[in-house]
Chain A
């Protein structure tokens, strides 16, 4: 269990590490170029992983909904945004504001799709996040 907890922390640390590296690359190239390299290198790493896992081209892939294919296109803009923001705001504020946007939009999506959740906790969470965003702007 303790190992799983450490691994869970690691998954978040890998996100911060990746953003820091991409941000450094963007300083010498550009935000979009750093996003390109991020995806190309990630692809190169995942090819052998997929081959070993035997899921290089699963039979179900052909019948996937079109929306399942556009995640990568969205990700390109997301990674480029992170690389653009991190030299301007620093790692902590960049990460915090990205998470804020992610959570506000995911609550909106949950409400639209009628996902089961404790409503007062969601609303309190949204309120706290909005306070946080407001504070980030204050000097």
Chain B
């Protein structure tokens, strides 16, 4: 690690609290998918996503009013107002449901859908980091970031195929 990188561009090590927060948020995703999957099985995938977004909007309003969670995110660079396109994350979020429903019902099934989804997510995230796309900071991953990602992706694939193998 003798590379001379200007300090501002050097990604710092994640704080243990940040790692813990990410792991807890990932567990929330498991519960969310369980809940949404239950609604989708009981009704339709579109309705499940619609209710999830509707309920989510109301809960977000309540949380914003209760806790006044309006502190801007931490940034090393000063940013002004958000460009209009930054408000459109919800479109790709909603599209995800539609697209993955189509893929799950193909011969790729749940196992293939999850594996490909993981690959797509990691590849685009690496590209975003490398280019600093869409107004976020450009950061070249450290060697250990890549090793960590490789181990997590490998472990995830093992777990995904462990389920497919028993089916």
Contacts and interface: CB of A to CB of B under 8 A. Distances in A.
Contacts of A45: 90-91, 94-95
A75 B89 CA distance: 14
Contacts of A126: 155, 159
Interface string A1-31: 1001101111111111111111111111111
B46 A46 contact: yes
Nearest to B142: A139
Nearest to A5: B116
A106 B43 contact: no
Interface residues of A, number: 122
Contact of B94 (A46, A56, A109): A46
Given A33-B64, A72-B52, A139-B13, A41 B91 contact: yes
Interface in A96-117: 96-107, 109-110, 115-117
Q: Which of A13, A44, A130, A131 has the most CB of B within 10 A?
A: A13
A73 B79 contact: no
Nearest to A21: B89
Contacts of A78: 25, 28-29, 32
B6 interface: no
Contacts of A92: 122, 125-126, 128-129, 141, 145, 149
Interface string B118-151: 1111111110110001111101011011011111
A12 B45 CA distance: 17
Nearest to B35: A71
A64 B39 contact: yes
A8 B106 CA distance: 10
6 contacts: A72-B54, A90-B137, A90-B141, A117-B166, A124-B158, A138-B144
